[in-house]
Structure formats: structure tokens, C-alpha cells
A and B are shown apart, each in its own frame.
Chain A
Amino acid sequence: MTGKTISEKILSRKSGQDARAGDLVVCAVDCALGTDGSVPMALDYFAQMGGERLHDPARIVFALDHYVPPSSAKTAGLHQRMRAFAALHGVALHDVGEGIGHQLIVETGRALPGDLVVGADSHAVTYGALNSFATGIGSSDLAAIMITGQIWLRVPQSIRITLTGRLTAGVYAKDIALALAETLGADGAAYQALEFAGPGLQHLELEDRLVLSNLAVEMGAKNGIFPADAQTRAYLAGRTAQAFEAVDPDPDAAYSREIVLDLDALTPRIALPHLVDRVVPLQEAAQIPVQMVYLGTCTGGRLRDFHQARDVLKAGGGVAPGVQLVVTPASREVQDAMEADGTLADFVALGAEIVPPGCGSCCGTCGVIPGDGVNVVSTANRNFKGRMGNASASIFLASPASCAAAAVRGAITDPREITP
């Protein structure tokens, strides 16, 4: 018998069985997130299932992030319903303005190495950066977890992504993720896990890893998981008091495929409208005019992202006329840190519109909506037609630095052309 991948090991632990790729197992869930986009429907399922009390309220978290601020009586009503349910059942609820649910799960130390953490939202894959088996589910699954504490899962095969070398100046984690989308395609990892490995990991900070795990679902992956190391432990120190047991793959684990990516050779990438895997070297898209630049989301709304963008904006002399720059921190913690170190003031001085923490413009349910025919360059993870609330806008996806370079020139620009 060969050894096991990280995913096989975690699902073995959580199911109490010898779980191998392809097996169907019922697992105990350590933590499950629901958002205002998914909980209202989950509460309907919960009632229909005959749910009366929660299996374990301490394992459930609600976040109000998709409709922030609520823009209609209906969405405000959804929030009221969630608050009432959370209060009644003792569920932790992150209210409007605290941030994006995925970021809060990570910041509050609820996604731990070796744990099974799910979220009723596709980008729950983000927590894989912390060595959690993390995957997105629907509202009905969330309701069943609330009642039973369990989920059925098919144990995924794993694709090993081996990173070698080190990113060069002007190239970032987002470029790695886009390069993987280019290689794998939008369904190239369907039903499978991405398991990151290799000497390149030591140079990737935890915030970089979150970007890679976050985008795993855009290749169809069930989860995108990293081993835990000193960086993981340093990030979690002070965020949780709970003990955890990190999981490494066995040396003889079986993979369906291995992709080796040399970070030294990587250049900036950009995804063209309207598919995440329509990725080209950014230089091939250079000169395309840009009218809106969006910095935020659960992919690119963290402190490190804003630092990278701010540095390019400053080096380039500010925002070009005719470009709307919108900034949405992923959480209040991020916003507070931006305030404390002057990043927020820098963006205000640059003329950016600052939107309170949350999903913002990402999925078109709130925030600033692009005008007709506008080209947007965004740090987000999706560029489907209509994604930001206007089907006649075109969305390009790139790193925070590439987004900033586009804001500086009013056109898609290689950030390496703008140096301090």
C-alpha cells in the first residue's frame, strides 16, 4: 500500500477510516462558515429538515459580507434573520463591516492545520493555506452540518504542484495562481486536490499561500492545500489557543499528476475577460485601456496586497486621469493595519474610493458597479461576464502590483516598468 497525500490523511483522521482517493467517507466537521449569500437558504433547509438545535454551535460561524452595506429592505431582512438565528442558537456572527467571511475564519484562528473546515461559499478553499482540508459547499450541506456535525465527501485525488526557485521583482503569488489556471484550465483540477510542495514554498509568506489556495477552485479543485511550517505556526500564534497536529504527505504518496513551476522564470500574468483561465503573459495585453481598478476581495484584499499596490502607485506618480480606483479591505483587521501604518492615508491621497470591509464590488451584489463598456483590472478571482454587476463591463484579473500599474498609466502595464 502506498502512502497518503495530505488530503487523504486529514480525511482519514476526520472519518476514522483508512480514506483513499475515490472513497466516499462521512467526516466530522471542525468548523463551517455560512455567509449572507448562503445562510438564508440554509435556514430554510434547516427548518425543512426538522432541525431544532445545532449539533455544536461552537463549530458554526456566520458572516455578513456579501450585502455590505445592505442596499435594500430585502437584504437588510436577510441580515436580521441571520442575527436572530445566531443569537438564539449561540452561533458566532461577524456583522456588517467586520470583513469577508473567509478572511475572518483565517484571522480568528478557526482554520487549523489538520482540520476539516468547510464554508457555504466556493472560496472556502482559501483556508487550505493553513494546512486545513478546506472546501466549498452549498446551503443544504451547511444545514445538514448544523444538524449532524457531519458531511459526506469523496476523497480527492491530488495533483502535486511543486514550486521551485523564487519570485523575481514585480512578480507575485497571483501570477503563480494565474499561471496554474493557464496550465490546468478552468476544470483541469475538477474533483481533485492541489497539494503544494517544493523548495519554493519557503519564500511564500502565508498571505501569498492564501492567494494560491483561494484560486484553486477556479481550476475546479476541491481544495488547495499547503503543508504547515514555521510561517503557519507564526501566523496562528496569538490567533488560537487550541492545539493542532499538522499533516505532511507521506514520501510515497500517489498523485494523479505533478506540475513543476519554476518561480524564477515566471513573468506577470493576466486573465482576459470573461474566463479565469484565459490567461496570457501580461505584456501581450499591454496598452489595453483601463477605466476602473479594483483592489480588494478574499483573493487580493490583504495588507500585503495593498502595500504592493501602493508602492507601484507611488512610484508611478499616482492615478492616471479617467481611472477610478476602488479599495476594499478584506477585513477590519486589515483596514486597521492600513490605518496604523499610513497605507489608508496614502490611498486617500491618491484619490481612491475606500469601501468598508466586505465583498465590495466583487460579485455585483454591493459596492461600486462599473459603467457600461468599462474595462476593469481587479485583484479578484473571477471575471465572468456580469460578475461585478454589469454584463457590459470587461474584467481582467491580475496581481495587486499589475492592477496598480494599470491605474498609473490608464492602460494595462507591466508593473516591472514602474520602479521606484
Chain B
Amino acid sequence: MTALVLRGRARLFGDDVNTDYIISSTRKRESLDPQVLRQYLFEGIDPAFAASVVPGDLLVAGKNFGCGSAMEVAVTTVLGAGIPAVLARSFSRTYYRNAINNGLLPIVCDTARIGAGDWLAIDGANGMAVRNETTGETLLPEPLPPIMQAILAAGGLVPYIREHGRFVV
């Protein structure tokens, strides 16, 4: 696998962004299709967001991102909008799991000094180090345990299970 490099603009959010703020659970009654749901991404807390998102944009949040419901559309809708990674000081554990399982890269790091619109580059060859090209700062996230790396490297739990048929440690 070639080392992953992601480069995108930082889109800032605060602490305790719950899954209903990411995508309202009332929306998933009518469709589970990320391409339909993406137009409602963050509609409750940032109504202009969905129209302004550019593929490659990176979500940057404070603590406890994705708290609340375990609903997985809160991950697939983010991916559907072309966002490949979320950086947060911490994640709720169900959001973190769902992110890994769908190939959305969750990066735990100190996001306090990232500004709105900063250009960030994430280097897969260097332990997912996040270089803030706007400020020059580099953040080193906690390394992921092997099984999570394996699922992410496969592209998510679907290709992982197709390949292995079970969990291999």
C-alpha cells in the first residue's frame, strides 16, 4: 500500500459535537444514501456548511466528537461529502469505531492551535503526523493499534471481512 497523504482545509467545530448535530436522526428515516444525506451535513449547527464543503476538507474539533447516538450515518455522511479525516482532541468511542470501520481516518491530537481554513497535510508514512502548513506546526497523534490499522488499511470493515472472513489479531 502506498503511504497515504491527505491535504485539505481545516473546517472547525467545537466540543461535544453529537451525532445528531452531524446528521439529524430524523433525516435517516427517508434515506441512508450518503449522497442524499450530505446536503444536510451539520444543518442544525452550521446551515451553510453542506453547500460550502469541498472534497478533501478536514474536520477539526475539540473534545468528545461524535458523542450521543451510535448511528453510523454520522460517519458515512461525512465521507459522502468527500471529507477523508477528522481531527479531534477526543472522540466518543462509538464514533471512533464507526470511523475506523468505514475508512474515515480519526486522528486524536491537540487541535487547539488549528485555525479555520488552515491548510493541513497528513502524512501516512510518518504515523499520520499532521503538518499545519499555515502555521508551520507539526502534530504527532497517538499511534493506532494494529487491528485498527489493518481495518483502515483494508479500506474499512467491509473489505476487511471480505478478505479475512473473520478477525485476525
Contacts and interface: CB of A to CB of B under 8 A. Distances in A.
Contact of B64 (A24, A38, A190): A190
Contacts of B162: 48-50
Contact of B70 (A40, A49, A121, A144): A121
Interface in B135-169: 145-148, 156-158, 161-162, 165-167, 169
B88 to A, nearest CB: 11
A75 interface: yes
A141 B16 contact: no
Given A74-B30, A384-B18, 17 more contacts: A37-B69, A45-B157, A45-B158, A49-B162, A72-B29, A122-B68, A122-B94, A139-B71, A143-B157, A144-B161, A154-B145, A187-B67, A190-B64, A382-B68, A384-B20, A384-B21, A386-B44
B72 interface: yes
B30 A72 contact: yes
B63 interface: yes
Nearest to B89: A187
Nearest to B16: A186
Given A24-B147, A144-B157, A187-B64, A136 B70 contact: yes
Interface stretch (A92-100, A145-153, A293-301, A302-310): A145-153
Given A122-B68, A138-B97, A140-B101, A40 B30 contact: no
A137 B68 contact: no
B70 A137 contact: yes
Given A121-B70, A386-B20, A141 B157 contact: yes
Contact of A187 (B16, B28, B69, B145): B16
30 contacts: A24-B148, A24-B169, A26-B147, A37-B28, A41-B72, A49-B162, A50-B161, A71-B29, A72-B29, A121-B70, A122-B70, A122-B94, A138-B94, A139-B72, A140-B101, A140-B158, A144-B157, A148-B167, A150-B167, A151-B167, A154-B145, A186-B16, A187-B67, A187-B90, A187-B92, A191-B93, A220-B64, A220-B92, A365-B26, A365-B29
A364 B18 CA distance: 15
Nearest to B101: A140
B161 A24 contact: no
A83 interface: no
Q: Which A-B residue pairs are the 7 nearest by beta carbons? A: A187-B64, A138-B98, A140-B101, A138-B72, A122-B70, A49-B161, A26-B167
Contacts of A140: 72, 98, 101-102, 156-158
A386 B27 CA distance: 12
B66 to A, nearest CB: 11
Contacts of A382: 68
Contacts of B166: 148, 150
Highest count of chain A CB atoms <10 Å: which of B21, B28, B31, B90: B28
B120 interface: no
B101 A40 contact: no
B161 to A, nearest CB: 4
A275 B70 contact: no
Contact of B29 (A45, A74, A137, A191): A74
Contacts of A205: none
Highest count of chain B CB atoms <10 Å: which of A50, A71, A147, A384: A384
A135 to B, nearest CB: 8
Contacts of B93: 190-191, 220, 222
A67 interface: yes
A385 interface: yes
B24 interface: yes
B63 A187 contact: yes
B23 to A, nearest CB: 11
A217 to B, nearest CB: 8
A150 B63 CA distance: 30
A67 B29 contact: yes
A26 to B, nearest CB: 4
Interface string B11-46: 000001010110011101111100000000000100
Nearest to A191: B93
Interface in A368-393: 382, 384-387, 389, 391
A24 B145 contact: yes
A151 B68 CA distance: 21
A378 to B, nearest CB: 15
Interface in A31-63: 37-38, 40-41, 44-45, 48-50
A57 B164 CA distance: 21
Nearest to B98: A138
B73 interface: yes
Contacts of B165: 147-148
Given A41-B32, A148-B166, A190-B92, A141 B63 contact: no
A106 interface: no
B147 A152 contact: yes
A152 B20 contact: no
A275 B20 CA distance: 13
Contact of A386 (B24, B29, B30, B90): B24
Contacts of A187: 16, 63-64, 67, 90, 92
A116 interface: no
Contact of B71 (A38, A150, A152): A38
Interface string B113-125: 0000000000000
A392 B83 CA distance: 29
